[in-house]
Amino acid sequence: MSVAHDDHYGPWTVEEVLALGEDRGQRRELMGDMLLMAPAPGFKHQRASLRLAMLIDAAIHATGAPFEVLEAVNVVLPDGLFIPDIAVVDAAAAAEDPVTCDAEAVHLVVEIVSPSSAGRRVDRLLKPPYYAEAGIEHLWRLELVPAPSLVVCELEAGRYVERQVAEAGRVSYVEKPFPIEVDPGELVQPRG
């Protein structure tokens, strides 16, 4: 079943959003019953996502933990469907090649803050409470403007508490949930 945006009236469901199919030109997320659409991210965003995912993947591999790092996958929450830029999920949950992943299988989400004012509000203010309600233990937020910084948060008493801020131009050690060394500035630098 395929549902066109123009033919839809009223609240959305996870099933209806998934029925829209894959679209590499935009992301479709569900906050409550409201459909959110955003254009595909830019090059700086994509570069940072890939490089940070590779750092996290190497850290997981070094510890032998049974997790997999995935970029831009559908995570089903108690009240919505989000596509975090990076998600660390139980390897068993990813092994069957699903279209979605339940939040219970997610240990870390990373949001790379959108440059638009609406995108910044969504990434900084609106998404974290949904992730917290779902019980996702770790949330990292990569800010790109004015200078790259990685904000490391951990779930405590139902809300995220900022534990660390890694700033561009300096290598920082992030201990949880997997130990990595990162300079946020290096995540966005073009090659050559």
Give the model's pLDDT for residue 178.
Answer: 92
φ, ψ dihedrals at 189, nearest 5° = -70, 130
Helix/strand/coil (H/E/C) assignment for every residue in 3-28: CCCCCCCCCCCHHHHHHCCCCCCEEE
Which residues have CB under 8 Å from 24's CB, separation 6+? 40
- Convert the pLDDT of each residue in 11-43 to its tens digit: 999 999 998 888 877 889 999 999 998 888 899
Q: Which two tokens stand for residue 79?
A: 């009240």
Q: What is the pLDDT of residues 124-159, one digit of tens each?
A: 899 999 999 999 999 999 999 999 999 999 999 999
Q: What is the pLDDT of residue 25?
A: 77
Task: Using a cut of 0.95, tell me whether the model's pTM lies above it.
Answer: no
Q: What is the CA radius of gyration of the chain?
A: 16
3-class state of residue 166 by DSSP: strand
Residue 83 · residue 72 · CB < 8 Å: yes
Q: CA–CA separation, 155 vs 101, rounded Å? A: 20
Q: State the DSSP code for 190.
A: P
pLDDT at 65 over 90: yes
